Amino acid sequence: MADSASPLKVWLEEDGALLRLRLARPKANIVDAAMIAALSAALAAHRQMPALRGVLLDHEGPHFSFGASVEEHLPGQCDAMLAGLHALILAMIEFPVPILVAVRGQCLGGGLEVVLAGSLIFVADDAKLGQPELKLGVFAPAASVLLPPRIGQAAAEDLLFSGRSIDAAESLRLGLATSVSDDPEATARAYFQHHLASKSARCLALAVQAVRAPRITEIRRRIAEVERLYLDTLMHTHDANEGLGAFVAKRTPHWEHR
């Protein structure tokens, strides 16, 4: 398991068949550069384990994540932040075994983008999931790519444009959540034990490759497109900088629509 100073706890269960990753900076579990680096390193370190059949990503504290670090979205830092986050998301999507995610409480912004890169999402009754970026004058690049295939174009546009959060019941109805329970970690572990643990790790990895290969190619292309739109266009607008600055200063933004 990772040391206490790490933003992430990492360990193996089920005789090395299940990799456990736990966000460990409650209550916010901000997806900042340190968290992104820890998650990326853990996935890279365990990618070649021959007996691995699943990953379970969960969290300490009442909330999965309040989102990415807004300070790291500011000009001068957002290039590195987006590059790191998008590399992590692609590493998750390209990981050779299913990534199961257990979510309690708030799961917002960059936190939900990380969740969307997983395979199956198990949520608690109190879960609230949302992409509130537009309220800050920016948009959610990775979610713009990952959300429509999961829940359909119209539902994705609703969440991305409104910035509203949905509860557990709506997330299940939309097909975002696999299940709703009072203990999503236990439900995810049960799924692994019942459906993945008995499988051949090699055959499972090939099944993952078979179902994801065309999607990975498209996601790589689209992530690159939206990243350039964010950095080359959005971050040169008045309102994006105003919204981010207002959030950091804890004041109401003044939009000039430019």
The domain limits of the chain are 8-183
Tell me, what's the pLDDT at 227?
A: 97
Tell me, what's the pLDDT at 4?
A: 54
Tens of pLDDT, residue by residue over 134-153, are 999 999 999 999 999 999 99
CA distance 156 to 166: 12
Which SS3 state, helix, strand or coil, does residue 139 take? coil
Q: What angle do CA 189, 7, 77 make, to 5 degrees?
A: 125
- Provide the percentage of residues in the chain whose pLDDT is more than 70: 98
CA distance 85 to 75: 16
Question: In CATH, which superfamily holds the domain spanning 8-183?
Answer: 2-enoyl-CoA Hydratase; Chain A, domain 1 (3.90.226.10)
CA distance 66 to 107: 6
Q: Categorise residue 97: left if φ over 0, alpha if ψ from -120 to 50, beta otherwise.
A: beta
Residues 167, 203 contacting (CB under 8 angstroms): no
Residues 141, 90 contacting (CB under 8 angstroms): no
